[in-house]
Amino acid sequence: MAKSSDSGGTIFKTGLFAILAGLAFWIFNRSSGTGNDTADIERPKATTEAPTSPAEVKSEQVPDYLPKSKDGEEVQHTWFTLSYSEDHEQAAWVAYELTRKQLDNKWADRAGMLFRPDPSVHTESATPRDYTGSGYDRGHLCPAADMSFDTTALQETFFMSNISPQAKGFNTGVWREMEELARDWARKYERIFIVTGPILSRKGIAQIGFSKVTVPVGFYKAIYAPKQNIAIGFAVPNQKSDKPVMEYAFNLDYVEQLTNIDFFPELMSGANETPEKELDKSLWPVNEKRYNMRVQQWNKE
């Protein structure tokens, strides 16, 4: 009988030790971040003084600048937000803030960046293969250069949700010039909000790839400088152009009617609707040297 009791006690102690050891290992994994359940890993908390990103922190420094439209699933990434249109397999709009401070930061290395499907799109986004052999460029909506101040944000610009079929002469020419001008204006006015995307309210030129990605007839940009309370819109055909950029400039009301998108509804309402209806092109200076470079070089690349 004594032997049986000793044996039972030994088994009980061994089992208890195993349970305690397992519990200690589980606690260690949670605290050290080496376990498989990465959702439970503690992450630094953002503060309003130094926000991790507008998507994670809402403060007076980051007002609600997102547009309103009926088309798409809204997806938030680190420093930009988009509305993905499943019918057209691309974003109906991409919205983000661009500041002088961001542009003055050291740019992240773009080497090794690859186009890839967006895992945040529930209906699944287009794939890089949809563009292969199509004759159209994988054109960024939110430019990689605008997000180069943050490595994660830069990587996210290569999600296919941020890509749209663009004619080569358009992508490397007038669209490139407009992107660089927007960075000029962000430096000049310290801070701007940008909404950009394809014009999907008109019948597309074609469809490409297995996903049947719509080739848009054109693209738009809506830009608002909150401190100066001024805005400008653009609508540009999806083709090579030798025309000056300002020939494609309009007030926001016109671009809203063209795209069926309400830009900056939280910032421009009631008594502050003037920037939507008026456009003073002199407030948006253009670099003539860059225009000449587009006509003489970029259009031929």
Q: Which amino acid is located at 87 in the chain?
A: D
Give the pLDDT confidence score for residue 52 in this predicted structure.
53
Give the pLDDT confidence score for residue 53 in this predicted structure.
57
Give the pLDDT confidence score for residue 10 in this predicted structure.
44
DSSP assignment of the chain: -HHHHHHHHHHHHHHHHHHHHHHHHHHHHHHHT-SS-GGGS--PPP-SSS-S-TTT--BTTB-----B-SSSEEEE-SSEEEEEETTTTEEEEEEEEEEHHHHHSPPPP-TT---B--TT-TT----GGGGTTSS-EEEESS-GGGGTTSHHHHHHTTBGGGEEEE-HHIIIIIHHHHHHHHHHHHHHHSEEEEEEEE--SS--SEEETTTTEEE-SEEEEEEEETTTTEEEEEEEESS---S-GGGGEE-HHHHHHHHT-B-STTTS-GGG-HHHH---GGGS---HHHHHHHHHTGGG-
| Spatial separation of the C-alpha atoms in residues 104 and 292, rounded to whole Å | 26
**Backbone φ, ψ for residue 210 (5° rounding):** -60, -35
Contacts of 275 (CB under 8 A, 6+ apart): 224, 229, 230, 231, 252, 268
Written as six digits, the tokens of 154 are 């830069």
Give the pLDDT confidence score for residue 54 in this predicted structure.
57
Give the pLDDT confidence score for residue 175 in this predicted structure.
97
Give the pLDDT confidence score for residue 2 in this predicted structure.
42
pTM, 2 dp: 0.80
Give the pLDDT confidence score for residue 24 in this predicted structure.
41
Q: How do the pLDDT tens digits run along the chain, 301 residues long?
A: 444 444 444 444 444 444 444 444 333 333 333 333 222 222 333 333 334 555 554 444 556 899 987 778 999 999 999 999 999 999 999 999 999 999 999 888 888 889 999 999 999 999 999 999 999 999 999 999 999 999 999 999 999 999 999 999 999 999 999 999 999 999 999 999 999 999 999 999 999 999 999 999 999 999 999 999 999 999 999 999 999 999 999 999 999 999 999 999 999 876 677 888 999 999 999 999 999 999 999 998 7
